[in-house]
Amino acid sequence: MTSPNDSNKNNNSANNEAGNNTSEKQNGMLASILERASKSGIGRKKSTRSPVESAVAKDMADIHSNPTKLRLAFLGGGSFGTAMANLAARNGCDATLWVRNKRTVKAMAKTQTNKKYLPGYKLDDRLKYSHDLAATVKDKDIIFIAVPGLAFRETVKNIAPLISGQSIVSLTKGMEKDTFAMMSDIIKEVLPEVNFGVMSGPNLAIEIMKNMPSATVIASESEPLRHAVQAALHSAFFRVFASDDVRGVELGGALKNIYAIAMGMAAAYEVGENTKAMILTRALAEMSRFGVEEGANPLTFLGLSGVGDLYATCSSELSRNYRIGNMLGRGMSIDAAVKKLGQTAEGVNTIQQVHEKATKAGIYMPITHALYAVIYEDKAALGVALHLMEAGFRSDVEFVMAHDHSNAALTAHMKNSSNSAKDNTKDDAKSKNSDADK
């Protein structure tokens, strides 16, 4: 069950020996858990089923006649941490959800609902809740982290002294402020000897709570960890696919938030389907271009964590990033939109990080630069959009046919794309600000 690649890819030289031992321990442990899982049997409690549930009841019965008894911690009591912890508990895992607010923990344990983030959805009665981080993390097989990107480093640092052999999986789709670190970078930096993975895909939490069939991707260099996450979360409602392109999967989840904001904004202007299709596909081109520069495999962006998540968040008002864009498109300021949302919208920070990084590295990211100009430089949305449409000739899929850089005008445009967006003047969207912000 173990893979020869698992132990060392993530270790730095200073920690090699200790790291090897820890990784071997982890791999052995995960392999034995998976073996135990395939032999064990735990029944599933009966519950009222939705039509979708009934249709897949037989598959569920098969899966639940052979569940895993993995011990799992989920850190972060927002909509996604709760939804994933609930799936794991329903699969028969020993799942504990850690929430930072003591009163929230009490209320969740009492009502078996997450009133603030997932009101109205009853959680599995086997799910445990805790405010005690050390007790939650101790003796677990896998720790899933689902806090916002801006709180990720702090969370990893808090659990660092408590790590003995646990693996870590990031569910977070953000980037660290000012450092451009992805969550996997933070894990590697703070806990260099630990096995880790990232999970990402089109996973709107409310749809998962409604048992609407969904799928995701677990990306890790560790094969046992990939298998363990699949065993823990996979069900007839939720398919867990595997990848070893950690960078690509993680970037797909983070970058699509930028374009969900763009699409929400476009929807406010009542654009047509052709326009939406153009934004979606050029977003994919931009994401994969950036991904390749960052060491990702461009083909990963054709998978669930790329085009899959891009589609889900760019077409649904359930996406908080889409809603932010929509509010901006209706003339609200970014601060007012964030306040009104009251939940995590990673794209707000990601636009800034990617704009900066792409500008420094000379990566052509016209949609990101345009959004940055509208949101952070107070430029007119319509003027910026028009400017995007006037950009020079490009090839459709640059991995099929490279751009013709001999076109001097085009090259000049590419170099100045972010700066020239700044020259547009303020128009209707911003003029609506004062009204919409109220």
Ligand X SMILES: NC(=O)C1=CN([C@@H]2O[C@H](COP(=O)(O)OP(=O)(O)OC[C@H]3O[C@@H](n4cnc5c(N)ncnc54)[C@H](OP(=O)(O)O)[C@@H]3O)[C@@H](O)[C@H]2O)C=CC1
Q: Which stretch binds ligand X (CB under 6 A): 143-151, 225-233, 401-409, 428-436?
A: 143-151
Establish whether 415 is an annotated binding residue.
Answer: no
Establish whether 44 is an annotated binding residue.
Answer: no
Establish whether 129 is an annotated binding residue.
Answer: no
Q: Does 146 bind ligand X (CB under 6 A)?
A: yes
Q: What gap in Å lies between CA 311 and CA 277, rounded to an integer?
A: 10
Would you say 32 or 343 has its CB closer to ligand X?
Answer: 343
Nearest to 162 by CA among 129, 134, 190: 134
Binding-site member from 72, 88, 137, 147 for ligand X (CB under 6 A): 147
| Least spacing, CB of residue 209 vs ligand X, in Å | 10
Q: What gap in Å lies between CA 145 and CA 198, rounded to an integer?
A: 9
Establish whether 320 is an annotated binding residue.
Answer: yes
Q: Does 260 bind ligand 13P (CB under 6 A)?
A: yes
Applying CB under 6 A, the site for ligand 13P has a residue count of 12
Comparing every residue's Cβ against ligand X, the nearest one is: 78
Nearest to 146 by CA among 164, 167, 171: 171
Residue list 179-238, contact with ligand 13P (CB under 6 A): 202-204
Is position 256 annotated as part of the catalytic site? yes
Q: Which of 140, 188, 256, 379 is catalytic?
A: 256
Beta-strand pair 142-145/167-170: parallel
Establish whether 79 is an annotated binding residue.
Answer: yes
Would you say 81 or 165 has its CB closer to ligand X?
Answer: 81
Long-range contacts of 111-115 (CB under 8 A, 24+ apart): 114/77, 114/79, 114/82
Residue 375, both tokens: 């949101």
Q: Which does 202 bind (CB under 5 to 8 A by kind): ligand 13P, ligand X, none?
A: ligand 13P
Q: Which stretch binds ligand 13P (CB under 6 A): 26-34, 60-68, 228-236, 308-316?
A: 308-316
Q: Does 251 bind ligand 13P (CB under 6 A)?
A: no
- The three-state (H, E, C) secondary structure of the chain, written as one string: CCCCCCCCCCCCHHHHHHHHHHHHHHHHHHHHHHHHHHHCCCCCCCCCCCHHHHHCHHHHHHHHCCCCCCEEEEECCCHHHHHHHHHHHHCCCEEEEECCCHHHHHHHHHHCCECCCECCCCCCCCCEEECCHHHHHCCCCEEEECCCHHHHHHHHHHHHHHCCCCEEEECCCCCCCCCCCCHHHHHHHHCCCCCEEEEECCCCHHHHHCCCCEEEEEEECCHHHHHHHHHHHCCCCEEEEEECCHHHHHHHHHHHHHHHHHHHHHHHCCCCHHHHHHHHHHHHHHHHHHHHHCCCCHHHHHCHHHHHHHHHHHCCCCCHHHHHHHHHHCCCCHHHHHHHHCCCCCHHHHHHHHHHHHHHHCCCCHHHHHHHHHHHCCCCHHHHHHHHHCCCCCCCCCCCCCCCCCCHHHHHHHHHHHHHHCCCCCCHHHHCHHHHCC
Q: Which stretch binds ligand X (CB under 6 A): 16-24, 47-55, 145-153, 394-402?
A: 145-153
Nearest to 197 by CA among 156, 150, 145: 145
Establish whether 109 is an annotated binding residue.
Answer: no
Establish whether 393 is an annotated binding residue.
Answer: no
Q: Which does 417 bind (CB under 5 to 8 A by kind): ligand X, ligand 13P, none?
A: none
| Least spacing, CB of residue 3 vs ligand 13P, in Å | 28
Would you say 304 or 421 has its CB closer to ligand X?
Answer: 304
Binding mask 40-79 for ligand X (x = CB under 6 A): ------------------------------------xxxx
Q: Which does 312 bind (CB under 5 to 8 A by kind): ligand X, ligand 13P, none?
A: ligand 13P
User: Over the Cα atoms of the chain, what is R_g?
Assistant: 22
Binding-site member from 68, 86, 172, 305 for ligand X (CB under 6 A): 172
Q: Does 349 bind ligand X (CB under 6 A)?
A: no
Q: Which does 286 bind (CB under 5 to 8 A by kind): ligand X, ligand 13P, none?
A: none
Q: Does 197 bind ligand X (CB under 6 A)?
A: no
Q: Does 354 bind ligand 13P (CB under 6 A)?
A: no
Binding region for NADPH:
79-80, 100, 117, 173, 205, 320, 346
- Interface positions with ligand 13P (CB under 6 A): 173, 202-204, 257, 260, 309, 312-313, 319-321
Binding region for sn-glycerol 3-phosphate:
173, 201, 256, 309, 319-321
- Interface positions with ligand X (CB under 6 A): 76-81, 100-101, 116-117, 146-149, 151, 154-155, 171-174, 203-205, 343-344, 346
Residues assigned a catalytic role: 256
Binding region:
79-80, 100, 117, 173, 201, 205, 256, 309, 319-321, 346
